[in-house]
């Protein structure tokens, strides 16, 4: 079991080391950081002074991950405006990845930022850091391209994400994980009277248990009330990054969207909306999602290709 808590002062040096290793340094995974970057990674004390230094500890009280929750007036904050909190330097030890530690740190950061009275939690990441972007999308963060001005180390501006904390009854868009994906596809089938994608996804999952499936080729987005009590719409899009199964293919093949296009080509209603008259904000949320994904270079369904059941 993983516990998320505030780091103790006598742990700051260790937290700095976990941050360093969590970003892949000190191994063949990644080269050494610049002196300025190294100082930032290692100076956990400064991050603690700027807000709340979170750590994830395992059953033996070993620190396996960390994240820095910063107030807007912190010297280390670079995206937060007044009234917002900012999350920086989320890092998990390589040995603890794929275990949900990053997700636990993110959820705790959201809770604590809300307890501060912040109206939003913001963060940034590399424009090609798709793994992290998928995590943020799954939690209901919105990408805000209009705030993307700071350059990333790899070229292009940093991608900025925001989680609203001041609109508990509003609409959120979340990228479905495996469990939520299944229920969302069943919801879509009822709305459109088209079980094709549900049946296809389930069939592929059975045939490829433990390996790549069509879920690697298309994404399922849930438009729902922010408390997740009511599902309002489902949107199917091409996957926002190449699938893991394509990792060994050439760069040209990885860039090609043809496999994703073939999966969605026969889908008449990639956008399915139910009870739309009750939640007009659902359409605005869908429009923003498509704008954001287009901004990232992803082909998206046309807005008019929508199936709906009258409210």
Give the CATH number of the domain where residue 136 resides: 3.40.630.30
Last residue of a domain, one of 144, 164, 184: 164
Q: What is residue 168's DSSP assignment?
A: T
User: Cα–Cα distance between 209 and 98 in angstroms, integer?
Assistant: 18
Q: Are residues 61 and 138 in the same domain?
A: yes
Residue 300: the pLDDT is 67
Length of the chain: 311
* Number of structural domains in the chain: 2
pLDDT at 30: 79
Quick one: 205 and 61 in the same domain?
Answer: no
pLDDT tens track of the chain, all 311 residues? 899 999 999 999 999 999 999 999 988 777 899 999 999 999 999 999 999 999 999 999 999 999 999 999 999 999 999 999 999 999 999 999 888 999 999 999 999 999 999 999 999 999 988 889 999 999 999 999 999 999 998 888 999 999 999 987 789 999 998 889 889 999 998 888 877 777 666 665 665 554 445 556 789 999 998 888 889 999 998 876 544 433 433 343 344 444 445 567 667 788 888 865 566 788 889 999 988 888 766 666 665 544 444 33
Same domain (yes/no): 146, 71: yes
Instruction: Mark whether 114 and 185 lie in a shared domain.
Output: no
Q: Which domain holds residue 83?
A: 3-164
- Write the CB contacts of 173 (distance below 8 Å, at least 6 apart in sequence): 137, 140, 142, 221, 222, 223, 235, 285, 286, 288, 289
**CB-CB contact of 236 with 270 (8 Å):** yes
Considering 164, 184, 200, which residue would you say is the last residue of a domain? 164
Same structural domain, 190 and 275: yes
Say if residues 2 and 57 touch (Cβ distance below 8 Å): yes
In this prediction, residue 193 carries a pLDDT of: 83
Residues 6+ apart with CB under 8 A from 152: 126, 127, 158
Nearest residue to 25 via CA among 10, 12, 7, 39: 39
Same-domain status, 210 and 283: yes
Same structural domain, 117 and 61: yes
The pLDDT value recorded for residue 250 is 35
Q: Are residues 149 and 36 part of one domain?
A: yes
8 and 140 fall within a common domain: yes
Are 175 and 160 in the same domain?
Answer: no
59 and 102 in a single domain? The answer is yes
> Do 213 and 126 reside in the same domain of the chain?
no
CA distance to 17, 29, 47, 65, 99, per residue, from 247 (Å): 29, 16, 35, 26, 21
């Amino acid at each position: 079991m993983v516990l998320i808590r505030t780091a103790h002062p006598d742990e700051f040096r260790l937290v700095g080391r976990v941050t360093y290793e969590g970003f892949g340094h000190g191994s063949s995974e990644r080269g050494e950081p610049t002196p300025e970057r190294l100082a930032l990674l290692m100076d956990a004390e400064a991050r603690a002074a700027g807000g709340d230094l979170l750590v994830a500890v395992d059953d033996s009280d070993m620190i396996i991950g960390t994240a820095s929750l910063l107030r807007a007036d912190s010297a280390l904050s670079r995206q937060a405006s007044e009234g917002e909190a900012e999350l920086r330097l989320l890092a998990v030890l390589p040995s603890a990845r794929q275990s949900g530690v990053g997700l636990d740190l993110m959820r705790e950061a959201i809770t604590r930022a809300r307890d501060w009275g912040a109206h939003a939690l913001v963060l940034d990441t590399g424009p090609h850091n798709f793994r992290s972007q998928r995590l943020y999308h799954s939690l209901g963060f919105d990408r805000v391209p209009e705030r993307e001005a700071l350059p990333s180390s790899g070229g292009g501006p940093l991608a900025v994400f925001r989680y609203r904390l001041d609109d508990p009854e509003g609409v959120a868009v979340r990228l479905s994980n495996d469990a939520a994906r299944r229920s969302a596809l069943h919801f879509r089938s009822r709305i459109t009277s088209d079980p094709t994608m549900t049946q296809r996804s389930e069939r592929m999952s059975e045939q490829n248990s433990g390996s790549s499936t069509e879920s690697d080729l298309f994404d399922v987005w849930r438009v729902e009330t922010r408390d997740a009590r009511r599902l309002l719409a489902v949107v199917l899009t091409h996957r926002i990054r190449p699938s893991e199964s394509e990792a060994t293919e050439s760069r040209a093949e990885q860039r090609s969207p043809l496999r994703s296009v073939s999966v969605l080509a026969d889908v008449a209603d990639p956008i399915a909306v139910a009870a739309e008259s009750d939640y007009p904000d659902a359409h605005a949320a869908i429009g923003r999602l498509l704008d954001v994904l287009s901004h990232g270079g992803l082909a998206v369904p046309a807005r008019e290709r929508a199936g709906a059941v009258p409210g």
